Amino acid sequence: MRYVVETEGLCKYYGDVKAVDGVNLKVPRGTVFGIFGHNGAGKTTLISILAGLVLPTKGKAQVLGYDVIRESLEIRKRIGLLPEGFGFYEDLSALDNLIYLAELDGMDKETAKKRALEVLEIVGLKNHAEDKVSTFSRGMKQRLGIAQAILKDPDLIILDEPTVGIDPYGAMKIRQLIVTIAKGGKTVIISTHLLYEIGQICTHAAIMRMGKVIMEGSLEELINAIRDTYGYRYEIEVFDDKAVNLIKKNVDNIKGINRVDIRGLKMIIYSQHNISREISRLLKDIEVEVKTFKEITPSWEEIYAILYEKTGGEVSV
Amino acid sequence: MLFSMRRQEVRSVSRSILIVARKEFSDMIRSKRLWIILSLLILIHLGTYSMVRYASVSSYKNVRRMLLLRGISNLTSSIAILGPILGIALGYDAISGERERGTLKLILARPVYRDSIINGKALAGLCIIVMTMGITGLLTMALGVLVYGMSLTLDNLTRFGLYTLLSILITLAFYAMAILFSVLSKRSSTSLAINIVIWATFAFILPVASYIIAGAILGPPPVMQEPGQKGISRQFIEYSRKLAELSGKIRQFSLITHYQVIANALMRSEVIVNVGGRTIRRTITLGEILSRGWWHITILVVFTLVCFISSYAIFVRSEER
């Protein structure tokens, strides 16, 4: 099976609200797949459908080859989920919480305890196994949340906003943990409204807006798609004004340049096409000593802003 | 093959129910609410014991009789008030509490049917209620034997058994109602408030309101004594009879009334009281009580079933967003 998740025209309506609206998504096996969108974009509803917690209004969805409507129990046997707004039994220890959940996963008590201790070690909470959850910080609870998601060693792990509300250090630890889990060959789907998380930990991403997936693919594909549609940018930094003027004078000879911005000793060249070879050749021909020459890849904030504007929204990134 | 799969599925469902029930049972046993209510029930029984002991040494026959009847009434009233409170305390946050904590999503993300959760909770509640009311029933029986001088005949044991079952039933009825509101409410505080309002209506408001409503329906009472006549007028007696009858019918909207009617009948009519060497014996038999009062029991059973089935149906069909 190439894809762990495949959806086709997936919709979920709450009255007049289209929480998920015709989503076609394919999540390749072994990837860290980010679902990005700001609050209310439909990420949580989409995840809830995939995890078998919510039934779709229409459309199809398969998770690990099982249909989300008819075989949700089979899906829940095989996935690990960290839902949004989850919580634990605060008066119980971390270990007791995990044992209870592992038993519900189908393990006998002895296996449940053994596995609970293993996952507590993975998330770095083994020393707090006997502590009551009420004494845990937000970050510790979040790590415990990830621990419960990997209890049954699932093929697919779905994490809904795993770093929300956590201090930067705690969030960094969680991202490291996700990367470690993913390195073990698991497919991880992570929903987030933090753009930099996509770049830091994901290999693939889908961008959602108003219940729709407006872009989907590997990070490289997404960046290329943006460049192909919205152009390329190159930055040249030189040592003196003379070099700046020389480049400015000759750069117009390259076809396809839209604009050139000069900021002191730095020049930004905008083009609709990939002209990096032509610029290199020009710099060689005019014999200008260059400090740096690089292509500026669009940041995730820019990608989102472009897509958001394209789909009719106001940019608030 | 199909049969084997079905059997495996049934085993898996039963296992989930038992895991949830075990966790709930352990939570309930550790809960302060349970121990406070149980302590109150025990205290009331001890208080009744002291009162009835005083009655047995009183030299006035009427005082003895009054105190004994009040003692019996105390016991049934304490169950009628505290049983429902216990049911509400155990059930008001059964589902809404899980929702508020966010634990419901963690449970539902596992290979567990939604009905296993509600069934597990109901099973745990049933066990706790049977245990608590069983202890209370044993205390009542101990009171009957030690203070009332009651003999442990088959008839008396059956009456105590039925009394205990009835106490379990009234508690269970309110437990089922509390679960229903915990399924319907997003917040436990809302569920608790609704349950308390219903309980207070059944326990205190309706008994008082029944007379006001009956009085409003019947109109102003006739004069108590006609001028120039001795004694209370016939019209007034007739009015009072109608008022009592109508208010009694209104009170039957309360579950607690149904419990009290049967519980009092069971406890008062069958008790063999030995005071100062004289035996006071009620003549109403167990068969008579059941044949006259079966519908009170039916109402309690139907209410419990309707609440539980509704909770089940609503919870199983709902979605956690």
Q: Contact A77/B111, CB-based, under 8 Å?
A: yes
Question: For residue B315, is pLDDT > 60?
Answer: yes
Q: Contact A73/B101, CB-based, under 8 Å?
A: no
* CA–CA distance, A112 with A53 (Å, rounded to integer): 23
Q: At what angle do helices B114-146 and B61-91 cross, to 10 degrees?
A: 160
Residue B204 inside a domain? The answer is yes
- DSSP for residue A240: S
By three-state DSSP, how is residue B11 classified? helix
Q: Contact B110/A55, CB-based, under 8 Å?
A: no
Q: Look at B136 and B304; give whichever has higher pLDDT.
A: B304
* CA–CA distance, B280 with B274 (Å, rounded to integer): 7
Question: For residue B242, is pLDDT > 70?
Answer: yes
Look-up: residue for tokens 């044993």? B138
Q: Quote the pTM value.
A: 0.82
Task: Work out the burial of residue B171: count CB atoms within 10 Å of its CB; fewer than 13 is exposed, 13-18 middle, 19 or more buried.
Answer: buried
Which residue from B minimizes the CA distance to A56?
B319
Give the distance from residue A53's alpha carbon to the nearest chain B alpha carbon, in angstroms: 6
Residue B1 inside a domain? The answer is no
Interface list for A 56-95 with B (CB within 8 A): 73-74, 76-77, 79-81, 83, 85-91
| Among B75, B93, B34, residue whose Cα is nearest residue B159 | B75
Task: Say if A106 is an interface residue toward chain B (CB within 8 Å).
Answer: yes
Q: At what angle do helices A138-149 and A109-122 cross, to 10 degrees?
A: 130
Give the distance from residue A282's alpha carbon to the nearest chain B alpha carbon, in angstroms: 58
CA distances from B193 to A186, B79, B90, B118, B188 (A): 47, 21, 14, 21, 9
Which amino acid, residue B102? Answer: G
Q: Contact A14/B12, CB-based, under 8 Å?
A: no
Chain B residues within 8 Å of chain A (Cβ atoms): 12, 16, 19-20, 23, 27, 30, 101-103, 105-113, 319-321
Among the partner residues A14, A81, A88, nearest to B109 by beta-carbon distance: A81
In which band, very low, low, confident or very high, does the pLDDT at B157 lie, cut at 50, 70 and 90? confident
Beta-carbon contacts of B191 under 8 Å, excluding residues fewer than 6 positions away, are B92, B93, B96, B178, B181, B182, B184, B185
**Ordered structural domains, chain A, with CATH:** 3-224 (3.40.50.300), 231-302 (3.30.70.100)
% of chain B beyond a pLDDT of 90: 45
Look-up: residue for tokens 């269970």? B172
- Residue B188: CB atoms within 10 Å: 20
Q: Contact A86/B105, CB-based, under 8 Å?
A: yes
**A155 φ, ψ (degrees, to nearest 5):** -75, -30
Residue B177 inside a domain? The answer is yes
What is the residue range of B159's domain?
A: 12-317
Residue B5 inside a domain? The answer is no
Question: For residue B280, is pLDDT > 60?
Answer: no
Cβ atoms of A226 and A272 within 8 Å: the answer is: no
Give the distance from residue A244's alpha carbon to the nearest chain B alpha carbon, in angstroms: 58
* CA–CA distance, A47 with A19 (Å, rounded to integer): 11
Question: For residue B178, is pLDDT > 80?
Answer: yes
Q: What is the mean pLDDT of residues B190-216?
A: 93
Residue B7 inside a domain? The answer is no
Q: Which two structure tokens, joined as six digits, stand for A286?
A: 């005019």
* CA–CA distance, A77 with B312 (Å, rounded to integer): 23
Q: How far is C-alpha B298 from the geometric centre of its chain's CA atoms?
A: 13
Q: Contact B106/A148, CB-based, under 8 Å?
A: yes
Q: Look at B47 and B182; give whichever has higher pLDDT.
A: B182
Residue B3 inside a domain? The answer is no
Q: Contact A86/B321, CB-based, under 8 Å?
A: no
Q: Contact B19/A103, CB-based, under 8 Å?
A: yes
- One pLDDT digit (tens) per residue for chain A, 317 residues: 789 999 999 999 999 899 999 999 999 999 999 998 888 889 999 999 999 999 999 999 999 999 999 999 999 999 999 999 899 999 999 999 999 999 999 999 999 999 999 999 999 999 999 999 999 998 899 999 999 999 999 999 999 999 887 888 888 888 988 988 888 889 999 998 887 788 888 999 998 988 999 888 998 888 877 777 778 889 999 998 888 888 888 888 888 888 888 888 999 998 888 888 889 888 888 888 889 999 888 777 777 777 666 666 543 33
Task: Say if A17 is an interface residue toward chain B (CB within 8 Å).
Answer: no
Q: Contact B23/A55, CB-based, under 8 Å?
A: no
Among the partner residues A44, A76, A91, nearest to B111 by beta-carbon distance: A76
* CA–CA distance, B22 with B35 (Å, rounded to integer): 18
Which residue from B minimizes the CA distance to A46?
B321
Among the partner residues B101, B108, B319, nearest to A55 by beta-carbon distance: B319
Q: Contact A55/B16, CB-based, under 8 Å?
A: no
Contacts of A86 in chain B (CB under 8 A): 102-103, 105-106
Q: Contact B23/A100, CB-based, under 8 Å?
A: yes
Q: Look at A23 and B219; give whichever has higher pLDDT.
A: A23
Residue B278 inside a domain? The answer is yes
What DSSP string describes B138-186? HHHHHHHHHTS-----HHHHHHHHHHHHHHHHHHHHHHHHHHHHHHH-S
By three-state DSSP, how is residue B1 classified? coil
Contacts of A14 in chain B (CB under 8 A): 321
Q: Round the average pLDDT of chain B to a whole number and report it.
A: 85
Among the partner residues A14, A88, A105, nearest to B110 by beta-carbon distance: A105
Question: For residue B34, is pLDDT > 70?
Answer: yes
Q: Contact A103/B111, CB-based, under 8 Å?
A: no
Cβ atoms of A214 and A42 within 8 Å: the answer is: no
Q: Contact A88/B105, CB-based, under 8 Å?
A: no
pLDDT at B270: 46
Q: So what's the ipTM on this one?
A: 0.81
Q: Which of A66, A104, A133 would you mutate first to test chain B, the one with the most B CBs within 10 A?
A: A104
Task: Work out the burial of residue B212: count CB atoms within 10 Å of its CB; fewer than 13 is exposed, 13-18 middle, 19 or more buried.
Answer: exposed
In which band, very low, low, confident or very high, does the pLDDT at B109 lie, cut at 50, 70 and 90? very high
Q: Contact A86/B103, CB-based, under 8 Å?
A: yes
Q: Which two structure tokens, joined as six digits, stand for B127?
A: 């066990």
Question: For residue B1, is pLDDT > 60?
Answer: no
Total of domains in chain B: 1
Residue B98 inside a domain? The answer is yes
Contacts of A80 in chain B (CB under 8 A): 109
